[in-house]
């Protein structure tokens, strides 16, 4: 189950709106959606997949969007997460989506046969749709909310289950977020 909301900072405080992501296919689409909410002020797009991962996209006027994703591997398995996981965010060269021999898993196992040699790595990493290994770790701008009252340390310590509520509470926007939840 997914939840997505826009929080726009205005002169009167934060305004929240439930947002539909069905027509959003790229980060650019998501950025445009945020800018429609407010062209000059800070807009936060908050996205979560229940108990799996959450993401924050921050759009400040015409600046490039800033992104934070709590669990890259979990988000890579999600259509909404894939929107946020840009090449830059994952440290890849743009257009590096084509699998080549170096990125293939040539460990000698057959399709569907588990690789018993190193099961501990399975806990740390997952394969994304493009065949690249994506870690179960946070990616993106860890200071994305620092000037709004959520430090890097606090952001990294958030539990996926209640992260958006905790962020909204720190921003003083808990009530407005709950009205669209």
* pLDDT tens-digit map of 38-68: 888 999 999 999 889 999 999 999 999 999 9
Annotate 14-29 with b (16+ C-beta within 10 A) or e (fewer).
bbbeebebeebeebee
Q: How many angstroms separate the first and last alpha carbons of the chain?
A: 12
Q: In what order do the strands lie in the sheet with 139-140?
A: 13-18, 2-10, 42-49, 53-60, 66-69, 139-140
Torsion of CA 8, 13, 18, 22, to 10 degrees: 0
Strands 2-10 vs 13-18: parallel, antiparallel or unpaired? antiparallel
Q: What confidence tier does 19 reach under pLDDT thresholds 50, 70, 90?
A: confident
pLDDT attached to residue 70: 97
Q: Does the predicted TM-score (pTM) go above 0.85?
A: no
Q: What confidence tier does 143 reach under pLDDT thresholds 50, 70, 90?
A: very high
Whether the per-residue pLDDT at 101 is higher than 50: the answer is: no
Strands 13-18 vs 53-60: parallel, antiparallel or unpaired? unpaired
Taking alpha carbons only, the member of 130, 61, 121 closest to residue 96 is 130
Whether the per-residue pLDDT at 15 is higher than 90: the answer is: yes
Q: What confidence tier does 132 reach under pLDDT thresholds 50, 70, 90?
A: low
Which residue in the block uniquely carries the two structure tokens 């946070």? 138
pLDDT tens per residue, range 64-83 = 999 999 999 999 999 999 99
Highest mean pLDDT among 28-42, 89-103, 121-135, 137-151: 137-151
pLDDT attached to residue 95: 63
């Amino acid at each position: 189950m997914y939840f997505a909301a826009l929080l726009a900072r205005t002169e009167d405080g934060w305004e929240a709106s439930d947002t539909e992501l069905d027509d959003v296919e790229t980060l650019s689409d998501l950025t445009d959606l945020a800018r429609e909410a407010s062209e000059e002020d800070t807009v936060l797009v908050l996205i979560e997949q229940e108990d799996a991962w959450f993401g924050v996209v921050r759009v400040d006027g015409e600046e490039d969007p800033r992104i934070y994703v709590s669990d890259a591997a979990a988000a890579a398995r999600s259509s909404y997460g894939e929107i946020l996981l840009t090449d830059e965010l994952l440290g890849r060269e743009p257009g590096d989506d084509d699998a080549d021999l170096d990125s293939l898993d040539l460990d000698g196992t057959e399709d569907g046969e588990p690789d018993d040699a190193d099961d501990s790595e399975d806990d740390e990493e997952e394969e994304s749709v493009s065949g690249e290994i994506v870690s179960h770790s946070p990616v993106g701008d860890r200071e994305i909310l620092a000037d709004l009252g959520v430090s890097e340390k606090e952001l990294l310590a958030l539990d996926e289950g209640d992260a958006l509520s905790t962020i909204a509470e720190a921003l003083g926007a808990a009530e407005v977020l709950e009205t669209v939840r």
